[in-house]
Amino acid sequence: MSKNSNDRFKEIVKVFFKYGFGYLVDSKIKKRTPSPENLKKAFEELGPTFIKLGQIISTRTDLLPEEYVSELKKLQDEALPESFESIEKVFFEEFGVSLKNQFKFFDEAPMASASISQVHKATLLDGRNVIVKVQRPHIKEKMALDVSVLAKILKLTKNKFANSFINPVEALNEIWISTQKELDFTIEMENTIKFKELNKDVAFIYVPYVVKSMSSEKILTLERIDGIKVDNINSLQENYYDLSDISRKLALGFLKQVFNDGFFHGDPHPGNILIKDNKICFIDFGIVGNLSIPLREALNDALISIVLKDINKLISVFLSIGIRKGYVDRNALYEDIEYLFFNYLNTSLAHINISLMLNDIIQLTAKHNIQLPKELTLVMKSLVILEGVMTHLSPEIKILDIAIPYVKENSELIPKLSHDDIVIKTYTFLNSLYKTPEKIVEVSDNILSGRTKLQLEHKNLERPLIQVNKMVNRLVFGLVISAMIISSAWLISSNTGPKINGVSFMGIAGFLMSGVLALWLLISIIRSGMT
């Protein structure tokens, strides 16, 4: 460990001890549960890296209990500004020219100063008004040092998280990967350009243009939007804006981003949404989400499942897109979702708190060893933020009221599969189909060897014993027919014995006999009045 790393290690540990988290690094200290406020204070004292980490953690309800997540949401990403000389130096290192020679005007005092960068107003030589986002000097190296030290601390305390669903070191690595993307402004530039292109035909959405010649990994120059912040209700009303209309358009825009484009703004808080000339202007594309077609299909199915209260379908969606981190008790998961549905859906859609419901769903899946894709958790986080903005604008408008008709009216929300997608899905289907006889034989072996368990719920035991005998006989007869069908399928699959037109004669005969016996059994049941 280098001297800088060693000094920072001691500093971080000292702050953790100060705020009651010493038990994590010293087994002699009795474990206690520090308050969420203490965690927030520790992050604030440890500086920009931890403030940024805390903000990211506050979007992940699967990492910490709800009370800690809520407290971390209060972290303010503010920092003392860098000197103008430092900003000039960064600009020269990026472009090899003096900042003053590239702008007609450049405000030396930043309009905003955060942990990673600060923003200055400026005017280009051609007269266009822009903002220039400049990364703090050596911030990436400083953050990398903090993350490496924190990773060492987490490895030393791994026994404290032995029973945790989430591996803290893996979670930290995931957060660091996300943060590194934010530290590369060329990624944000490309995100801005892509979002602008995807929404160019949406009349009520506007995205600032990028000045590519004045943008790099550490500098981003964008069109300056002098609009009204979406949460400034007084200014919006003074300018005669319809708050309900803005709220609806925010919802429609988000639904298009998620279901149609598969590319959405991942941080739609009020500071990133401006209103100007009857348009909703999105800014700051450091965090965006990308959704594959299967994930969009899953979201569509999940929404329909929630509306129809189809618990089994919702569970199937989770299992199809999530990663199983352990044993999943489907019955227990069913009961928990049923309880959740009872609490949230036992009322009209207008009264559903989607934010609380989504948080509970994420926690439920984590509790039952299902890790949802991070893209899906980002959708849910963005939806929660957006619902808060909409509630502030127009409390009577609920995003579910808009989402359900939107999904119904847009039957082709999800783009048609590409040629490659079709080939992959066809191969997967044929591969599964090829294995079907093998699976059927496996099921048959389990039945015949007695390894299959049937769970029967007994009711109306007062029925005459003869009726029970008839039921058992029919059940056994049905199992025999099932075994014949399975055997016939296996014969046709293995293509053994005499053949008719290349198909096993014994297999065909077995299917025909099974059909006759099944028909006889059905007629017998109908005649006896059994259903």
Q: What pLDDT, on the 0 to 100 scale, is given for residue 429?
A: 46
Mean pLDDT, the chain, as a whole number?
82
pLDDT greater than 90 at residue 94: yes
- Sign (positive or negative) of CA dihedral 217, 218, 220, 226: positive
Contacts for 436 with CB less than 8 Å, ≥ 6 apart: 489, 493
Three-state secondary-structure class, residue 55:
helix
Residues of the chain by 3-state class (helix, strand, coil), percent to 5: 60, 10, 30
Residue 443 forms part of a structural domain: no
Which pairs from 431-434 meet CB under 8 Å and 24+ separation?
none
Residue 280, beta-bridge partner list = 205, 275
More confidently predicted of 220 and 327:
220
94-98, 103-107, 342-346, 422-426: segment of lowest average pLDDT: 422-426
Domain boundary among 224, 250, 284: 224
Residues 248 and 344 grouped into a single domain: yes
What is the arithmetic mean of pLDDT over 505-513?
Answer: 79
465-494 helix and 505-528 helix, angle to the nearest 10 degrees? 160
Residues 267 and 305 grouped into a single domain: yes
How far, in Å, are 149, 456, 468, 480 from residue 459 at the CA level? 63, 10, 11, 25
Three-state secondary-structure class, residue 284:
coil
Measured in residues, the chain has a length of: 531
Reading the block at residue 53, the tokens are 């980490």
pLDDT band for position 29 (cuts 50, 70, 90): low
Question: By C-alpha distance, which of 212, 220, 214, 189 is closest to 97?
Answer: 214
What is the arithmetic mean of pLDDT over 261-275?
Answer: 93
Residue 448 forms part of a structural domain: no
Domain boundary among 170, 192, 224: 224
Residues 117 and 259 grouped into a single domain: no
How far, in Å, are 18, 254, 443 from residue 13 at the CA level? 9, 42, 57
Q: What pLDDT, on the 0 to 100 scale, is given for residue 422?
A: 46
Number of domains, the chain = 4
Residues 430 and 359 grouped into a single domain: yes
Alpha carbons 145 and 153: distance in angstroms, whole number: 13
71-80, 114-123, 425-434, 451-460: segment of lowest average pLDDT: 425-434
pLDDT band for position 85 (cuts 50, 70, 90): very high
Residue 441 forms part of a structural domain: no
Instruction: Render pLDDT for 253-265 as a digit per residue (tens, 0 to 9).
Output: 999 999 999 999 9
What is the arithmetic mean of pLDDT over 105-131?
Answer: 94
Instruction: Render pLDDT for 189-201 as a digit per residue (tens, 0 to 9).
Output: 999 999 999 999 9
Residue 298 forms part of a structural domain: yes
Residue 295 forms part of a structural domain: yes
| 369 in Cβ contact with 325 (< 8 Å) | yes
Which range has the top average pLDDT, 16-20, 137-141, 302-306?
A: 137-141
Residues 207 and 250 grouped into a single domain: no
| 90 in Cβ contact with 218 (< 8 Å) | yes
List the alpha helices (DSSP H) in 394-418. 399-409
Reading the block at residue 360, the tokens are 């509970």
Q: What pLDDT, on the 0 to 100 scale, is given for residue 111?
A: 93
More confidently predicted of 125 and 503:
125
487: containing domain: 466-530
Q: What is the DSSP letter of 210?
A: B
Q: What pLDDT, on the 0 to 100 scale, is given for residue 171?
A: 80
Domain boundary among 413, 435, 457: 435
Residues 169 and 189 grouped into a single domain: no
DSSP string, 85-119: HHHHHHHHHHHSS-GGGTEEEE-SS-SEE-SSEEE
We report the CATH number of the domain holding residue 121 as 3.30.200
Residue 131 forms part of a structural domain: yes
Q: What pLDDT, on the 0 to 100 scale, is given for residue 290?
A: 94
Question: By C-alpha distance, which of 409, 414, 394, 392 is closest to 299?
Answer: 414
Q: Among residues of the chain, what percentage have pLDDT more than 90?
A: 35
What is the arithmetic mean of pLDDT over 308-334?
Answer: 89
Instruction: Render pLDDT for 479-489 as a digit per residue (tens, 0 to 9).
Output: 787 777 887 77
Q: Among residues of the chain, what percentage have pLDDT more than 70?
A: 79
Residues 171 and 271 grouped into a single domain: no
Residue 171 CB neighbour total at 10 angstroms: 19
Q: What pLDDT, on the 0 to 100 scale, is given for residue 427?
A: 47
Residues 285 and 345 grouped into a single domain: yes
What is the arithmetic mean of pLDDT over 332-357?
Answer: 79
Residues 370 and 395 grouped into a single domain: yes
Residues 126 and 220 grouped into a single domain: yes
Residue 453 forms part of a structural domain: no
Beta-strand ranges (E) seen in 150-277 are 205-206, 219-223, 228-229, 263-265, 273-276
Residue 77: what residue type? D
Q: What pLDDT, on the 0 to 100 scale, is given for residue 520?
A: 81
| 492 in Cβ contact with 508 (< 8 Å) | yes
Residues 306 and 390 grouped into a single domain: yes
Residue 461 forms part of a structural domain: no
Residues 267 and 400 grouped into a single domain: yes
